[in-house]
Structure 1
Amino acid sequence: MSEETMVTASPNKRLSLDKRALTRRTGLALPAALPLGSWVDIGRQIAVIADASAWWLGDWLLYGRQCYPDRYQRAIDQTGLSYQTLRNYAWIARRFPASRRRDALSMQHHAVVAAMSDEEQETWLEHAEREGWSVSRLKNALRAERSRPAPANDSTVVLKMEVDPHRQKRWEQAAEHTGTDLAYWASQILDQAALHTLRTRLGTSGETNA
């Protein structure tokens, strides 16, 4: 599914595909002389189902991790998708409980802001939904926001780290996947790790990584 796709569906409505579209495991058959409007509607329905299936897999994995921890890895193996892809689905699903997911936005929109705080997530998703932003437009808006000069009275501390090239490349790829630059991505990950560690030490955190 293209990252430019905007998927919409009515909240709490079961998803279905036009009965004139014959679905098979390896293909889709459409009737002859199908009206253009119907063809467009079917494409939109397929896009919605494709995006929803990513959420379904994420929730399915979280359920399996909670209820069948000894079979979680086996469940991942059974899908045929890459381990990292499924881990990403589960992570995004965990970062966004069902009540915070926006039907007008794709899972990829949510993935772009998943590393942010809940408040930041809501702010950017609200912008994306209200303005009808594509995933690319959301990423560009975030880059533009972060490229703005810091206020003159900003007391930012510069941290320096020495890492091998392989780790740097891996981190840069992860940052690019979320539509952020390396510095911002690293700060978000460190903030999350620090918060988790502090909560764990205080005995108030029951949340672990998916």
Structure 2
Amino acid sequence: MRSASGHETGLVGTRGESAQRDVLLPFVGNQATVQKSGMTFPQDLSQRSWERIGAGLRELTNSTVWWLADWLIFGESTYGLGRYREAIERTGLDYQTLRNYAWVARRFEHHRRRDSLSFAHHAEVTRLSPPEQDYWLRKAEEQKWSRNELRRAVRAGLAEQRRRYDIPPGDGDDEQETPRAAGPASADTGRRKATTLTIELSAGQWDFYSKVAAAHGLPVDKWVTQVLDAADRHTV
């Protein structure tokens, strides 16, 4: 309907904004007035409604980080954007922030992301192998850990693993081992040859050992190596 002053576009725009708000903020409804620059609440808003809106805003904030990361990855792969210049201009965020978002998102396929946990929870375990990531995120979900509680649990798990297998600090924390400078080789060392050990496992065995290794905060290959080393020391 067009008013005498011809403000049809303004009316449509208001309805469009209201519809968009209802889609993005269904938890708000008519309990608050939403604008780009803020949100106002009626004086008679119940505490339960206020809490529900806060929980919804938390989920929305967490989701927007994933959305932004996926948007950035799509732009890179589809349009070949270089050095995030376009993304920085569009979002106003700095390069390092965008890079961190994309890095975390690339480590978690959509089916491995847990809606009940925050983006920050996922960021805490990005340096671990996928089975380890799944293990710790499942624990965080079951125990309802905060991001800081998850961080403490992962660190404690890695510390316990190092203590149990006499692993020097730093080993097992990252996917790649830190290169070490080679010292003078003795005659015995010079005669040693690297041996490749191939172990055939069924799908069920692989899944089981992956979970055990993840419980110790290690990839499967490192866990197996350390178990064999520990057995070797006990037989000497």
Question: What TM-score, normalized by structure 2, do the two folds share?
Answer: 0.59
CA RMSD of aligned residues (A): 2.6
Residues 36-67 of structure 1: CA deviation (Å, up to 9, x unaligned): 10000000000000000000000000100011
Q: Which residue, out of 159, 163, 168, partners 1:150?
A: 163
Matches within 5 A, 1:23-172: 23-70=34-81, 72-148=84-160, 149-151=162-164, 156=167
**Percent sequence identity over aligned pairs:** 39
Aligned-pair distance for 1:188? Answer: 1.5
Distance 1:32 1:87 in 2: 42
1:22 matched to 2:41? The reply is no
Aligned-pair distance for 1:93? Answer: 0.9
Does the CA-based 8 Å contact 1:54-1:89 persist in structure 2? yes
Does the CA-based 8 Å contact 1:61-1:76 persist in structure 2? no
Residues 103-125 of structure 1: CA deviation (Å, up to 9, x unaligned): 11000000000111100000000
Does the CA-based 8 Å contact 1:22-1:29 persist in structure 2? yes
SS at match of 2:157: helix
Amino acid at match of 2:27: L
SS at match of 1:141: helix
Q: Match of 2:196?
A: none
1:183 matched to 2:165? The reply is no
SS at match of 2:176: helix
SS at match of 1:28: strand
Amino acid at match of 2:142: R
Distance 1:109 1:184 in 2: 22
Amino acid at match of 1:34: L
Distance 1:55 1:140 in 2: 24
Does the CA-based 8 Å contact 2:140-2:146 persist in structure 1? yes
Aligned-pair distance for 1:126? Answer: 0.6
Structure index of larger Rg:
2
Residue correspondences, number: 154
Amino acid at match of 2:32: A
